[in-house]
Each structure stands twice: as C-alpha cells, then as structure tokens.
Amino acid sequence: MTSERPALPGPPYFFLSYVPPPAHNDRTPGDHWVRRFYHDLNLAIDGRPGDRLRRQGFADFMVRPPEARTERKRIALAEAEVFVPLYSPAYLNRNDSRREREWFRQRLIRAGRPPDGDNILPVLWIPSPAAVHAPDQTRAVAMAADVEAYAANGMSALCRLQKFQHAYKEVLGRLAQHIVDTAEQTPLQPAEPPTGPTDLPSSPTSEVPFRAVVIAPEQPGDPGRLNGRSDTHAGRWRPFRGRPPVVDDVADAVQRLRMPMDVRDFVPDAGLFRACPGVLMIDPRVVETPDGAEAVQAAVDCLHSWVGVVLISEDARSGHRSHAVGLLDRAASLLSATTRPLMITTWDDWRTEIHDLVRRMRRRYLEAGPNYPPPGPPINKPRLWENPPPDEGVDT
C-alpha cells in the first residue's frame, strides 16, 4: 500500500464503484481490501511506460473531510475517464450501485459511445451463483479469462491470499494498461454531474438467501420481528436461558457475508434448501413430542451438503444432564450417518461455531450448488429507504 499523493489537475483516470461494508465509519470508510486494491491499481497505473505522471483514480473513501464526500463523488462520476465497478452478488443486486453504473452508461450514450465499451471496466470481485448475473460476470472475466484463479475466485480472493499474488499482479497490470490506454487515447468529455435519481431499466435482480430453519417444540411468546417484518416461532426460539434467540446470532453471521436471511419453522419440503445454503437447528426435546421424531426424519430428505445441522441442548450440562444427553443421542440417531451434526451445549460454544458454520455452508453452496434463482418470482431484499442515505450520495 502506498501513501496518498496530491491529485493532479484534470479528470480522474477511473471511478471506483463498490459496495461499502455493512458497518463503516467516517474515519476508515471502505473495506480494507477494496482500499488495498485501489492503492495497488494506482501504483500499477503510475508504473505504465510513458513520460507523463498518471492521474489517480477516484474512490470516495479518499475524500476528506467526510462532509465533502457526496459532492466530490458526484463530480468525479461526471468527469472520470473509466468506470470500474467491483462486481459481487451485493453489487449486482443493489439498486444504488446499478443506478450509479446506469448513469455512467447514459453518459457514454450521450457521447456517442457504446454503453458497455472500453470506458466501463468491470472487475469480478466476488463470484455470484445467480444465473441472472452471468452476463455481467462474463464481461468482468473477459479482461483476464485465461487467469484461472481470477475467473474462479474473483479479485477479492486474489488480493487477500498470498498464494494468488502472482495472478493478482497479472490481472492488476492488465486493468492498469486498459485504463491508461482508454484515458490517453480516447478521452471522454466531462458531463454535467448527476442531479437526481437515474431511472433503471427493468432488470431482474436475484439474491441467494441464507435459510435458518428450526425444529423445536412450540413454546409461548410474543411475536418477534426480524429485518422489520413479523417473524415465526423459529425467530423466537431461545434454547439458552437468558440469552437472545439463536437466529440473532445466525443473522449476525449472515449479514457479515452480505446475504439476505430467511427464517422458517420446519415443514417437510424436499426443496427447502435446494436453491440456498442454510442451517437446520434442532431442539432434541422435540423427539418427545407426538410428531417430533417424524419431523426430524423428514428433514433428512431436505438436506444437502451446503446445509449445516445443529443440535442444541443447554440441559445437557445441567442437573437434567442424563436425560438431555439421551435426547441428544436419540435425535442424532434419526439423522443420516453422513449428516454429522454439531452438538452444542453452551452459549459460548454456539457463538464460536455459528460464524464458521455459516461461512462454510455458503462456500459449499458456491462450489456445488445449482444456478439461482429457482422458478417463481424473484426474491428482493427489503430496503429501509428508497433514496440513498445522506452520506452516500449516488453510492452503490
């Protein structure tokens, strides 16, 4: 990573468009790896042959003070020579990022240039399993389709992992050369900065949800809420006394991966996890209910390699230990021999295990899961506002 240098006069070589992390602040905005990629790309541009000192690209996290970020971003979007979007499932599903890209496309059309020509240089940041994203990903891979690690894992993985550093530098060099050639040989005239919302063409967005399903005895409780909507019994299940519902911890792990979350009570359905990764959480006490054992057995037909199974019983460490351990073993015996469920008896163990389990199930789905979306209407992520928040302007 390099220190900041003063921006040279004239339009920036490129505009970096990305999805900010779920939790960011004004002191260190932007994802660490996005920031490293931005700095490395500027260094690669500076290192291209030629007599001129190359101009930096624009990224909103470089703007100080934070209050100036929205206006500077608006102007840079109207002046940059090349638009560099970092494609990921979150980027391609968000109206805000797609609106930013669409405004730049309209700028190209007004300049008499193709809307997906050299002035838009997409980077495959994180691969998406959604079939509807395939055309965008194909364009992003085209720059380095022969670099296997890039096409398979995306630039985020190349940036992070030491074993991919050779591939990372190779792709970085190609991106830098493309930006320099485009900016120097066919410069794009600045346009009036965007002043209002940009209409998006009708284009389906699809998101793969992470599904959390619970098999547990019914228990009384007031209706809960998750992501602003009324939740099911599954969303209120508290196997650990005095602790929040366990789906809260699943939601925290899922949100870190920028995936939508779907919480359900279990119903026998062979397609329950067919189109998404997930976790099935079972209260062993359910096997003592009239239909509980049948429900656990029926769950076997719904499982895939990308579904984690967790048996949770705090009583297995209490004064009822003998009976609780028996229920744990009985519930586990109803599952298939290949399921290998986690057996959790303490809240600390649960908190330690769930984040790793969610990451592993998502990775398995990306590697082995089917194309998404399944038949039927698209799944849209609920939003808290239609317009971008005040400090993000025209952001992703």
Among 152, 185, 218, the domain boundary falls at: 185
pLDDT of residue 104: 93
219 pLDDT above the threshold of 80? no
pLDDT tens digit sequence for 244-286 = 889 888 988 887 777 778 888 888 887 889 888 999 999 998 8
Query: What CA–CA distances, in Å, run from 372 to 127, 306, 369, 375?
Result: 13, 14, 9, 9
Tell whether 341 is covered by a domain. yes
Task: Tell which residue, 326, 336, 346, 328, has the closest CA to residue 303.
Answer: 336
Tell whether 32 is covered by a domain. yes
The segment with the largest mean pLDDT, out of 9-18, 26-35, 331-340, is 9-18
**Band (173; pLDDT cuts 50, 70, 90):** very high
Least confident of 159-163, 221-225, 301-305: 221-225
Tell whether 309 is covered by a domain. yes
pLDDT of residue 124: 96
373 pLDDT above the threshold of 50? no
Tell whether 57 is covered by a domain. yes
Is 56 in the same domain as 179? yes
168 pLDDT above the threshold of 70? yes
CATH number of the domain that 306 lies in?
3.40.50
Neighbours of 29 (CB within 10 A): 20
Tell whether 7 is covered by a domain. no
Amino acid identity, position 45:
I
The segment with the largest mean pLDDT, out of 63-72, 129-138, 296-305, 376-385, is 296-305
95 pLDDT above the threshold of 50? yes
pLDDT of residue 48: 77
Cα–Cα dist 247/214, whole Å: 9
Least confident of 90-99, 145-154, 287-296: 90-99
Q: What is the pTM of this model?
A: 0.55
Is 153 in the same domain as 301? no
pLDDT tens digit sequence for 117-127 = 999 999 999 88
Domain coverage including residue 168: 14-185
pLDDT of residue 9: 56
Is 90 in the same domain as 148? yes
Is 39 in the same domain as 104? yes
Is 223 in the same domain as 164? no
pLDDT of residue 370: 66
Least confident of 14-28, 133-147, 242-256: 14-28
Is 81 in the same domain as 144? yes
Is 174 in the same domain as 250? no
pLDDT of residue 371: 52
53 pLDDT above the threshold of 70? no
Mean pLDDT taken over the chain: 79
**Band (383; pLDDT cuts 50, 70, 90):** very low
pLDDT of residue 238: 87
Mean pLDDT for 145-153 is 93
155 pLDDT above the threshold of 90? yes
pLDDT of residue 227: 33
Give the residue, 203 or 150, on which the prediction is more confident. Answer: 150
Tell whether 204 is covered by a domain. no
Is 221 in the same domain as 350? yes
pLDDT of residue 319: 55
Give the residue, 193 or 223, on which the prediction is more confident. Answer: 193
Is 159 in the same domain as 274? no
Tell whether 373 is covered by a domain. no
Is 42 in the same domain as 160? yes
Is 68 in the same domain as 170? yes
pLDDT of residue 125: 94
89 pLDDT above the threshold of 70? yes
Number of domains into which the chain is organized: 2
**Band (395; pLDDT cuts 50, 70, 90):** very low
Which residue's structure tokens are 């990305």? 18
Is 180 in the same domain as 215? no
Tell whether 281 is covered by a domain. yes
pLDDT of residue 52: 54
202 pLDDT above the threshold of 90? no
pLDDT tens digit sequence for 324-349 = 788 888 888 888 767 789 999 888 99
